[in-house]
A and B are shown apart, each in its own frame.
Chain A
Amino acid sequence: MKNKHLTDSEIQQFAFDKAECKKEVVEHISSCSLCKQRVEAYLLLSTSIKSIPDPALGFDLSNRVMMQFDTTSKKKTLLDYFVYAFIILSITVVGFCIAYFSSVFINWFKGNSTVSMAFLICIALSILMILIIDIMKSHSRKMKMLKF
């Protein structure tokens, strides 16, 4: 049996993890009123913490979260409509331009040499590449923001 009083860790271990206690610690507490009192103080502390009422937010969290989902989905729908309308308008304008200026375009393509055509295609491909890289970067940044 331990003659010296138990350390704070041993007291806490007896109070909360009794199964892990050494035999001598258990024996000491059974015969030492001071250490027993200390164990009881920790148990009282634990009971007191348990009895503290749970904190509450000043609003109904579930309703607030669900409301946010509704707002987000409504916003998304409006945005979707705008995007679709913009795409349709762009296609119409481009189609109209091609139809109206087709003869001019044909003459322009016929008039240019192969080298200048290759040059134009290279520039177009480069711009396309830059745009794709930018979209990918922005996508990965947004995905990182979602991570926690």
Chain B
Amino acid sequence: MRQDQSTDRKLVKKVLEGNSNAFKTIVVNTQGLVVQIIYKMIKNQEDREDLAQEVFLKAYNKLGSFKFNSKLSTWIGTITYNTCLNFLDRKKIPILNIVDEDGSESWDLIDKKIPGYSNSQVESYLFRKEKHQIITSAIENLPPLYQTLITLYHNQELSYKEIGEITNLPEGTLKNYLYRARKQLKNNLLHKYKREDL
């Protein structure tokens, strides 16, 4: 973390002194996170491309106000998340549709309704049938906020603190949303799995 901060400081100093290559390094280092967030929150490819550029233009214009209270990548992640939120707000698209709040345990699909079917069979199914595509499409069926949280936690492997800084959510709320997101994802997968193969 300390090493990250010192690298961040050096890069920001160079950019503020007018070194555009230093900003290119920042773009290269952080574009993975930016693209992940944008892809999870925005559906339209053209909008994604425009927003990705907009995020870095904003970051460049605001770089002088960066106070090093967090990692530079987290700060740029926050800009990305807020830019996407503003975009969705303008388009009147909700970031969270609560659909699965009945508390029912979808494990029943495996435990009761499908006798003899074990998780190892689910596992082999997942590996057999283009695992990535199935999970990607199940994730895409989640609300934008859940998609983003799942990706930041499991794919980008960010800590709760970092995700909280990006999304401005308190840790308790964040964990709660993550629990619900995983549960909904698991339900989506189990329902899809049941429909296609049983």
Contacts and interface: CB of A to CB of B under 8 A. Distances in A.
Interface of A: 7-9, 12-13, 16-17, 34, 37-38, 40-42, 44-46, 48-59, 61-62, 64-66, 68-69, 146, 148
Most buried by A among B32, B58, B150, B186: B186
12 contacts: A12-B179, A16-B178, A41-B186, A45-B189, A50-B154, A59-B49, A61-B53, A65-B23, A65-B56, A68-B53, A146-B58, A146-B61
A59 B82 CA distance: 23
B145 interface: no
Interface string B167-196: 000000001001100110110010000000
Contact of B36 (A13, A38, A54, A62): A54
Interface of B: 20, 23-24, 27-28, 31-32, 34-36, 39, 45, 48-49, 52-53, 56-58, 60-62, 79, 82-83, 86, 105, 107, 111, 118-119, 122-123, 126, 131-132, 135-136, 139, 150-151, 154-155, 157, 175, 178-179, 182-183, 185-186, 189
Contact of A41 (B45, B60, B122, B131): B122
Nearest to B39: A55
B65 to A, nearest CB: 11
**A interface, over-half SS:** helix
Contact of A61 (B35, B150, B157): B35
A37 B118 contact: yes
Contacts of B136: 52
Contacts of B32: 54
B52 A57 contact: yes
